[in-house]
Amino acid sequence: MARIHLIATGGTIASRAETQGGPVTAGLSAQSLLSGLHDPLDGIEVSAESFQAKGSYALDLATVFALCQRIETVLSAPEIDGVVVTHGTDTMEESAYLAYLLVGSDKPVVFTGAQRHAGVADTDGPRNIAEAIRAAACPAMTGMGAAIVFEGEIHSARHVTKFHASRVDTFRSPGFGKIGDVDEGQVYVARANATPRRIYRPERLDPAVELVLLGLGSRPSYLSWAVETGATGVVLAAFGRGNAPEGFAQAAAQARAQGCPVVVATRCPEGRTLPVYGNDSGGRSLEDAGVIFAGALPPVKARLLLAVLLGQGADLVRIAAAFAQEG
């Protein structure tokens, strides 16, 4: 019999409205979530604990770092075969990616949640939980790193993103695709991750890494302001292959001179950064200014990787090497 441990962290899946039309807030316990399952989990024994009761938009890096440590502790017990984490969808991809980077066990770690809260008749929570538990109990998930199971699909935390604000099939892996399915209680894993997983052991996550979304004509003054006000690293969500408006190459060079690494990721949902264009702040000019390119890592995950690297004291050379490997 497989033994799976469920950790509940709040989110829509654990939420309901106190009054008709009132605000939706998290509060259901892990045991309450389990008691609401519709289907029997034959051959699987499930234990549970409540870790937090917050919407995922209210979490911070320190809390998710503690969550990853708790997952690691639970998985160290020989009788536990895998962990399921219930979590809000807003930042699920970020917490799952941190678990992908930080949890060293090869045992399955599966995140899931809901888009429709527990107080509505057609909530998607119970089905997602049951399918996540089945995935966590599947031997084929061993060594895959953290994943998200949602609406019958299995996605690697390395590539997945929330794609739609409200639909129940919100999670996609642009450019890479899902790694498997859960269909009528059966788990099918179609492929492994192409990129080998590397485990990081920071003492903490650096909370002062900022993310700047660039738009047409964005001013570089915000990058400079971020550095001046204490940012320890900055990720630019840049155009296309990794290009920025005029002035950003100079601002990035100044940031690096002050010891603040600048990472450039593409704001496009598919593709990777590559320094091609010259002139003022094209990718080649940014490269000359000392920025680090994130490859295929999207901006939100590039920020997390940088927070991990700074949290373990990495210098610019090691940061660049890590992004070359992970991106």
Q: Is the pLDDT of residue 118 over 80?
A: no
pLDDT at res. 125:
83
Q: Is the pLDDT of residue 19 over 70?
A: no
**Active site residue: 9, 12, 123, 273, which one?**
12
Q: Is the pLDDT of residue 28 over 90?
A: no
Q: Is the pLDDT of residue 73 over 90?
A: yes
At 159-172, the pLDDT tens digits run 999 999 999 999 99
At 254 the three-state DSSP class reads: helix
Residue 25: pLDDT band (50, 70, 90) is confident
Q: Is the pLDDT of residue 242 over 70?
A: yes
Task: Say which CATH superfamily domain 2-189 falls into.
Answer: L-asparaginase, N-terminal domain (3.40.50.1170)
Residue 52: pLDDT band (50, 70, 90) is confident
For range 107-126, the mean pLDDT? 89
CA 132 from centroid of its chain's CA atoms: 17
* Topology agreement, domain 2-189 and domain 209-326: yes
Residue 124: pLDDT band (50, 70, 90) is confident
The question of whether 89 is a catalytic residue gets the answer yes
Arithmetic mean of pLDDT over the chain: 94
For range 175-193, the mean pLDDT? 94
Residue 201: pLDDT band (50, 70, 90) is very high
Contact 11, 28 (CB under 8 A): no
For range 6-23, the mean pLDDT? 81
Map the chain to HEC letters.
Answer: CEEEEEEECCCHHHEEECCCCCCEEECCCHHHHHHCCCCCCCCEEEEEEECCCCCHHHCCHHHHHHHHHHHHHHHCCCCCCEEEEECCCCCHHHHHHHHHHHCCCCCCEEEECCCCCCCCCCCCHHHHHHHHHHHHCCHHHCCCCCEEEECCEEEECCCCEECCCCCCCCEECCCCCCCEEEECCEEEECCCCCCCCCCCCCCCCCCCEEEEECCCCCCCHHHHHHHHCCCCEEEEEEECCCECCCCHHHHHHHHHHCCCCEEEEECCCCCCCCCCCCCCCCHHHHHHCCCEECCCCCHHHHHHHHHHHHHCCCCHHHHHHHHHHHC
At 202-232, the pLDDT tens digits run 999 999 999 999 999 999 999 999 999 999 9
Percentage of the chain exceeding pLDDT 90: 82
For range 96-116, the mean pLDDT? 97
**Active site residue: 86, 89, 161, 266, which one?**
89
Q: Is the pLDDT of residue 17 over 90?
A: no
Q: Is the pLDDT of residue 257 over 70?
A: yes
Residue 152: pLDDT band (50, 70, 90) is very high
- The answer to which of 40-54, 211-225, 230-244, 284-298 has the lowest mean pLDDT is 40-54
Q: Is the pLDDT of residue 262 over 90?
A: yes
The question of whether 273 is a catalytic residue gets the answer no
Chosen CATH of 209-326 out of 3.20.20.140, 3.40.50.40, 3.30.70.250, 3.40.50.300: 3.40.50.40
Domain ranges of the chain: 2-189, 209-326
For range 108-121, the mean pLDDT? 89
Please choose, from the candidates 135, 145, 129, 141, the residue with its C-alpha nearest in 3D space to the C-alpha of residue 187.
135
pLDDT at res. 29:
83
